[in-house]
A and B are shown apart, each in its own frame.
Chain A
Amino acid sequence: KVTEQNGAPLPGVTVKLDGTTKAASTDANGVFSIQAPVGSKLTISLIGMATQTVTVPAGGRINVSLKADSKDLSEVVVVGYGTQKKSVVTGAISSVKASDLENQPVVRIEQSLQGRTSGLTIAATSGQPGSSATVRLRGFTSFGNDKNNPLWVVDGVVIDNGGIGYLNQNDIESIEVLKDAASAAIYGARAASGVILVTTKKGKAGNISINYSGYYGTQAPAKKLDMLNASQYATVRNQAASAAGVALPYADPASYGVGTDWQSLIFNDAAPKQNHEVSISGGSDKATFYTSFGYTDIDGIVATPISKFNRANIRLNSTYKPAKWITIGENLGYSHAVTSGIGETNREYGGVLSSAINLDPIMPAVIDNPTAAASVYNPNNPLGFKDDNGNFYSIPAGGFQEMKNPLAYQKTRLGNYNWDHNIIGNAFVDIEPVKGLHVRSTLGTKLAFYGGDTFTPAFFLGNGPGGVNATATLSRNLNYLINYNFENTVSYNRVFDKHNITLLVGQGAYKDNNARGVTSTYGNIPATTFDEASFRYNALAASRTTSGSDGTDHRVNSLFSRLQYNYAEKYLFTALIRRDGSSRFGANHKFGYFPSASVGWVPTLEDFFPKNNVLTFLKLRGSYGVTGQDLIGDFSYVPTVGPGRNYTFGTTETIGIGYSPNAPANPDLKWEETRQTDIGFEATLLNNITLNFDWYKKKTIGILQNPPVPGYTGSGSFAANVADMENTGVELELGYRKKIGDFNIGINGNASFFKNKVTKLLPGVTFIEDNTASFQTLGAITRTTLGRAYNEFYGYQTLGIFQTQAEVDSYVGPNGTKLQPNAKPGDLKFANLNGDNAITVDDRTYLGNPAPKMSYGLTINVAYKNFDFTAFGSGVAGNTIFQGLRRLDIGTQANWQTKILDSWSPTNTGATLPRLVQGDPNGNYSKFNSVYLEKGDYFRLRTIQLGYTFPKSITEKLKMQKLRVYVLSENLFTITKYSGYDPELGVTSDAGGGAVFSVDRGAYPQARSFLFGLNVGF
């Protein structure tokens, strides 16, 4: 029997008979049995515990108590093409283990990492269930969104960034974040933005164990916006009209009462969320297996009927050992997801959220008075849209543009969904002809099938764009994708004396983006709902449209080699080099070389180091390496001509297909290169405290960018290696573990800081608007300038509010011209930064950085007898949020947040906001300035969990190994000054989004949930 020091049984411990391959593992009671001769030696090991060797006594009964390895020195981390003892790792690698993630109700892997490790800046892009999050490792490595996404490698298979959502959280054994170039360079050409390695759970030799874990609960919005109600709205509009000197739109504002609360109509306060997983694992010394089935079903909190996520997962990981020297196996995951989305997320052009924010609260949701209905509708209008009770949905007044009655809009999307099937996995064979020599061959693949069905009924929802759909259409989209990785490695490990050498050489071939798709649309079909719609309706040929798509293969061929050496685990050294060839580059620069080296020293193992109880372990390490980036368009290195420059001739209306060059060529196009230096240390203090520290400097050279091409050249922009960017930062991880009486306390915290600076642009170019965010008529709101951070907010600086006409009149340029001739008391005063005689675009300046300077996370675990408690939170600091919830072109008609009540008026001269006036002659809201900006700092309690494990006396009766129940809340509170729904705003590339954090156009907020969960083990 194997126990912990406190006597608790230890399941899953490996017991190995020395000198043989015989092994066993302990069951849930810590009991094992193995056939072994008396006097032979058994090695007893478990990750996180100090390994022990015992001699089999006569009688064969062995009781072993394993000591917790407080220094985690025997912990193993995955380093890419192998594993390494943590104590001898020389790179900057953060790991997250299965135990950290257990019972965390996250749906996607990015969320598992948020706040768990240092070095990452992560922000959800949407609260829509199943949405991805934006992940940035150590600041910004490159320009744009895709190029800053890290490379995901699951069990050795490279997965495209969008495809990582197929993983079931419970199947993850560990996640390793390779942060410095020395660790990541083994993935060479695609590793510049960091590498995240995911390892799934494997079976262990021993008894079969069956586990169930699941939860069920409900979600609600954590916050709603404080919008004006109907009478406040009427009052404010009157105020704006009176300031402009035009007739008041509302005679008696008070008579409108509260009006329609659009938010309450689309938010769901009890949206269910559930997840269930059953896993079975076990094996013998000849074979192991781990298999699981998972099911997740989540309803969104916004417009629930059209916001749903449902996923089923199956995993099968197994190994077979037909002979002592050969292991074959596979890791295979399958997932099927069905998603319905609200459509426009974080976009101010219609959609349910934007409409709920902008629509006038006086307008009713549904017209139940037929006389009133007729004033809006032609009753003969065949497109009039009614609710289930037969009443017309109300229609926004003219001028509300794309805004639609959200209830009606929701109904037009009812039933539409997207689906995907993913089969991702690998098969491998590992041969060990002589001890320490492994020849391994792995074939990995991703097969994905995905698509969606969309039915749009005929409708009339308003006079704005997209308000009318004249005929019902049904559209189906089908795609498939086949990617593969083929890798062969030979590694040799040899220990002689105190020298430990591991040498790896390998070769890899990769192909991705091999996608094919078709979309077919039938118009004019006689259906009114999704369920009625079918392609069996034989739409007229003229009403059918199809389109197809082809991916362009992206191929990479690689050779790599790595040497790991340590002397007595005291002097550590790793060097590696990888050569990658990519199909995206021309003959001149097809191949790139990515070297790196790192060293480490563990002074605490030196004889001269004084023995003490304060500093029990210290490792100093440093590394330098080069990684690359080839994420640019295909064939950018050769000039091509492209079709689609069409024109029609003749009465037969034959469309001629015109061809012209796409862009000038750049045969010198080559890798983007990232050079990174990392210096850090790891320490254990007082046996209870672990400390990791890293400082890095990362310089990206030759960022692939399409430089701004003046319009007069008439050609498109071309790809070129023109810009350099630098990131420096520090990262800190701190852990504390202590047992006080019956209390077991664990605290883990981490914090990361980074500073980002563009150090070079094309000669003569001082700024670019690359992947910039823009907002309606404000135009671009961010800009990337030499010597400053990537994409900072750029607009007019304000100098407060004019209080009197005299102040307006005396605000003049050098020649005495009034700088703001249209201003009146209450308007914003803009700084005349270039000192000329007018406020123009040249007076704009930098107003803040959308990217947080700091990200941090904190986990507290407390166990007391059978109770366990976990609180986990994370946050960011130092960023600025752009809040653009209102549609400017809807003018004073669009609703406001209640903060507008503190706008300037002769009786409220201390106001924070400028005066409200129809037409906004001074441009208080049409010139981008700080009225749109707020601080983005927040701390969010992501999960808080209280669990109870039933004592053995009960579980034994139930024939269970383990029975635990818990209650959990996600997102219980968020500390922030931000006035929008949610300060967590990832990069959404939707209209005007750009590759910029912190732009809020009415983003789908994160839900707050309360869940009840159960863990059962047999």
Chain B
Amino acid sequence: CKKDLDVNFQERILVDNYYKSPADALAALISVYDRFGYQDGGLYDKVAIMDVAGDDQLAGGGSSTDINALQVISNYTLTPAIGPQTYLWNKGYAGIYRANILLSRIDAISMDATTKARYTAEAKTLRALFYFDLVRFFKNIPLLTAEVPVSEMYNVTQVPQEDVYAFIEKELVAAIPGLPNTVPAATEGGRLTKGAAQALLGKVYLWEKKYQLAADQFAIVNGPTPGQANPTYGYKLLPNFADLWKVSNKFNSESILEIVHTGASLGNWNDAGATEGNLLNIITGPRGYNPNAAAPDYYSGYSFLVFTKAFFDFIHFDPRNGATVANLDSLEKNYIIGNYDGNGPAGSGNKRPGYTPGYNNTGYFLGKFIARQSNKTTIGTNFDLNFSQDIYEIRLADTYLLEAESIMNATPGAVGTGSRAYQLLNAVRARVGLNPVAVTQDNIEKERRLELAGEGHRWLDLIRWGKAATVLASKGFVAGKNEIFPIPINELNNTKLLQSKEWGGTK
């Protein structure tokens, strides 16, 4: 009768029976990557948070509380209880947990040594990447390098941020040799390469103001001749800036590390966060889009992440404007969409708007990611949640500018015309047909703001440059507080974690 009670486990695989084969190791590694691409079920991701935290974009959406996590960071009313910090925190720590699981078990798996070394290096790099985000966002965090036993669950404490940085550096240095120079785009595009880990390490050094070390790492990634292809890794700026935002252009030569999305996962509203589709696309689409015949093929979405008027004015005459900003305001005024004043060309309908203005509406949408009919998935019926555009975590224009910045800070005298730093900065400009400019802090700042708009870099740049408090004051940014996110309130309940001083705590 006891045997009757032993029910078949079916698909539930016991942990003790798992982590035996190379396939198990790969599946465990994929689970770590899963957190790298993790998006919140409330339809936002890291890029969206970073975008609206910055000065160039507003939350937008349907109302002042629509995707509230974005609203409260956009207007700096976030509190330890309300805001996107729980997402950022859990994204990182779940990824770290999964990496810890794999790293603690992979040694016992009998498999090819090179593959084992590669998986190990990938897991370590991802773990470092999660920690780099966590320490930048929260400063005071626990450093966990193994599973936490249930008995110790509530006893974990925070460590000084220096310890976290030291760990990240050590991990990346150890991981780099195990990674391949390149991967076949068709089957492995999106997996970590040496260049991606080195670029990440460069960013870590730069955040620590270890400028020379940063410049050295970036130099390996950017290659000997700025503007020319990196002979080892093949990295090269795309000739046409707008091509970066073509969905078909995945894993192009400018891409160092990207978050991969697909339209094939049949994501649905029961669990929007589980989709492998790109949620940034649908949330940046205009509401109630009413195109006329020759209009762009935008797909109606939720009107988040709109650019401010000030940013539009800043980028208006830059060659990157067209690919960066979807100017619904202009489309409407020119009767390409809608006909809100009834005065447009015949046949375009009576008086009606070209789109429904959302909250914070400026008419300037995020053209890099806006949802398009042509990008609609061909699989399943839920188009909204299954756009397949990838998101660059690191691309070459970013590392060019970061190397220039590192050199400028490491050796301020070595940035004159024709110098490597000069070449780097101006390769980015030359690609869009702009004349060279001198390497100065101001020019690098302007270039990053224009080149990387809407890609989630601006806020972190402002924090790194120490300019967030000034630039973001009008949005409600409070110096000495908003440089980091509060530790999510649920992490403090019943645990030994302490809230950061910036947020009224004692840590």
- CB atoms of B14 and A655 under 8 A apart: no
B251 at the interface (CB under 8 A from A): yes
**Binary contact readout A707-720 vs B (1 if CB under 8 angstroms, 0 otherwise):** 01111111100100
One of B46-54, B74-82, B227-235, B323-331 at the interface:
B74-82
Give the distance to chain A from B338, nearest Cβ to Cβ, in Å: 7
Give the distance to chain A from B339, nearest Cβ to Cβ, in Å: 9
Given A375-B350, A545-B381, residue A401 in contact with residue B11 (CB < 8 A):
no
Distance between Cα atoms of A647 and B31 in the complex (Å): 7
- CB atoms of B66 and A401 under 8 A apart: yes
Do most interface residues of chain B lie in helix, strand or loop, or is the interface mixed?
loop
Give the distance to chain B from A786, nearest Cβ to Cβ, in Å: 11
- CB atoms of B156 and A659 under 8 A apart: no
The closest CB in chain B to the CB of A556 belongs to B5
Find residues 871-891 in chain A having any chain B CB closer than 8 Å to their own CB.
Answer: 888-891
B186: contacting residue among A583, A650, A713, CB under 8 A: A650
B378 at the interface (CB under 8 A from A): yes
Contacts of A811 in B (CB 8 A): none
**Binary contact readout A559-598 vs B (1 if CB under 8 angstroms, 0 otherwise):** 0000000000000000000000111000000100000000
A464: contacting residue among B14, B62, B381, CB under 8 A: B62
Find residues 7-50 in chain B having any chain A CB closer than 8 Å to their own CB.
Answer: 7-16, 18, 24, 26-37
B253 at the interface (CB under 8 A from A): no
Contacts of A890 in B (CB 8 A): 63
Give the distance to chain A from B39, nearest Cβ to Cβ, in Å: 12
The closest CB in chain B to the CB of A644 belongs to B274
- CB atoms of B68 and A777 under 8 A apart: yes
The closest CB in chain A to the CB of B144 belongs to A712
- CB atoms of A708 and B380 under 8 A apart: no
Give the distance to chain A from B277, nearest Cβ to Cβ, in Å: 10
Contacts of A643 in B (CB 8 A): 11, 27
A659: contacting residue among B28, B358, B380, CB under 8 A: B28
Distance between Cα atoms of A919 and B64 in the complex (Å): 8
- CB atoms of A375 and B351 under 8 A apart: yes
- CB atoms of B64 and A658 under 8 A apart: no
Contacts of A776 in B (CB 8 A): 65
Find residues 465-507 in chain B having any chain A CB closer than 8 Å to their own CB.
Answer: 488-491, 493-495, 497, 504
Contacts of A377 in B (CB 8 A): 352
Contacts of B139 in A (CB 8 A): none
- CB atoms of A375 and B262 under 8 A apart: no
In this complex, the interface size class of chain B, counting residues with CB under 8 Å from chain A, is 35 or more
Given A378-B290, A401-B66, A713-B153, residue A649 in contact with residue B264 (CB < 8 A):
no
B4: contacting residue among A509, A644, A709, CB under 8 A: A509
Distance between Cα atoms of A280 and B497 in the complex (Å): 71
Distance between Cα atoms of A651 and B95 in the complex (Å): 24
The closest CB in chain A to the CB of B102 belongs to A660
Give the distance to chain A from B348, nearest Cβ to Cβ, in Å: 9
The closest CB in chain A to the CB of B154 belongs to A764
Contacts of B108 in A (CB 8 A): none
Give the distance to chain B from A937, nearest Cβ to Cβ, in Å: 32
- CB atoms of A841 and B383 under 8 A apart: no
Given A470-B383, A557-B5, A649-B187, residue A891 in contact with residue B63 (CB < 8 A):
yes
Distance between Cα atoms of A378 and B190 in the complex (Å): 41
B98: contacting residue among A634, A644, A645, A766, CB under 8 A: A645
Give the distance to chain A from B16, nearest Cβ to Cβ, in Å: 7
B93 at the interface (CB under 8 A from A): yes
- CB atoms of A655 and B352 under 8 A apart: no
Give the distance to chain A from B212, nearest Cβ to Cβ, in Å: 34
- CB atoms of A777 and B65 under 8 A apart: yes
A613 at the interface (CB under 8 A from B): no
B112 at the interface (CB under 8 A from A): no
B438 at the interface (CB under 8 A from A): no
A645: contacting residue among B18, B34, B148, CB under 8 A: B34
Contacts of A777 in B (CB 8 A): 65, 68, 82
B420 at the interface (CB under 8 A from A): no
The closest CB in chain B to the CB of A890 belongs to B63
A805 at the interface (CB under 8 A from B): no
Find residues 260-278 in chain B having any chain A CB closer than 8 Å to their own CB.
Answer: 260-266, 269, 274, 276
B5: contacting residue among A582, A641, A642, CB under 8 A: A582
Find residues 92-109 in chain B having any chain A CB closer than 8 Å to their own CB.
Answer: 93-98, 100-101
The closest CB in chain B to the CB of A557 belongs to B1
Given A374-B352, A710-B495, A714-B96, residue A543 in contact with residue B381 (CB < 8 A):
yes
- CB atoms of A652 and B187 under 8 A apart: yes
Distance between Cα atoms of A777 and B495 in the complex (Å): 25
- CB atoms of A653 and B264 under 8 A apart: yes
Give the distance to chain A from B134, nearest Cβ to Cβ, in Å: 9
Do most interface residues of chain A lie in helix, strand or loop, or is the interface mixed?
loop
A648 at the interface (CB under 8 A from B): yes
Distance between Cα atoms of A765 and B34 in the complex (Å): 31
Contacts of A656 in B (CB 8 A): 26-27, 30, 33
The closest CB in chain B to the CB of A540 belongs to B378
Most buried by B among A641, A653, A656, A712: A712
- CB atoms of B156 and A651 under 8 A apart: no
- CB atoms of B380 and A710 under 8 A apart: no
A951 at the interface (CB under 8 A from B): no
Most buried by B among A643, A648, A664, A715: A648
Distance between Cα atoms of A642 and B11 in the complex (Å): 8
- CB atoms of A713 and B14 under 8 A apart: no
Contacts of A590 in B (CB 8 A): 2, 5
Find residues 289-342 in chain B having any chain A CB closer than 8 Å to their own CB.
Answer: 290, 300, 302, 338
- CB atoms of B15 and A375 under 8 A apart: no
A398 at the interface (CB under 8 A from B): yes
**Binary contact readout B177-188 vs A (1 if CB under 8 angstroms, 0 otherwise):** 000000011111
Given A650-B190, A655-B265, A656-B30, residue A661 in contact with residue B276 (CB < 8 A):
no
Find residues 657-671 in chain A having any chain B CB closer than 8 Å to their own CB.
Answer: 657-662, 664-666
Contacts of A655 in B (CB 8 A): 262, 264-265, 276
The closest CB in chain A to the CB of B16 belongs to A639
- CB atoms of A714 and B95 under 8 A apart: yes
- CB atoms of A650 and B189 under 8 A apart: yes
One of A313-321, A547-555, A600-608 at the interface:
A547-555
Contacts of A470 in B (CB 8 A): 381, 383
B97: contacting residue among A381, A555, A657, A713, CB under 8 A: A713
- CB atoms of B380 and A543 under 8 A apart: yes
Interfacial residues, chain B to chain A (CB-CB below 8 A) = 1-2, 4-16, 18, 24, 26-37, 62-66, 68, 79-82, 86, 89-90, 93-98, 100-101, 141-142, 144, 147-150, 153-154, 156, 184-191, 250-251, 260-266, 269, 274, 276, 287-288, 290, 300, 302, 338, 349-352, 356-359, 378-381, 383, 388, 488-491, 493-495, 497, 504
9 contacts between A and B (CB under 8 A): A379-B349, A379-B350, A398-B62, A552-B7, A557-B5, A641-B15, A650-B251, A652-B186, A708-B494
Listed from nearest, the 6 A-B pairs whose CB atoms lie closest are A714-B97, A523-B381, A658-B31, A658-B30, A889-B65, A645-B31
Starting from the known contacts A552-B10, A889-B62, 5 additional A-B residue pairs (CB-CB under 8 Å) come to: A401-B62, A470-B381, A650-B186, A650-B190, A652-B186
Interfacial residues, chain A to chain B (CB-CB below 8 A) = 371, 374-381, 398-401, 463-466, 468, 470-471, 473, 509, 521, 523-524, 542-543, 545, 550, 552-557, 581-583, 590, 634-635, 638-662, 664-666, 708-715, 718, 762, 764-767, 776-777, 779, 838, 840-841, 888-891, 893, 919
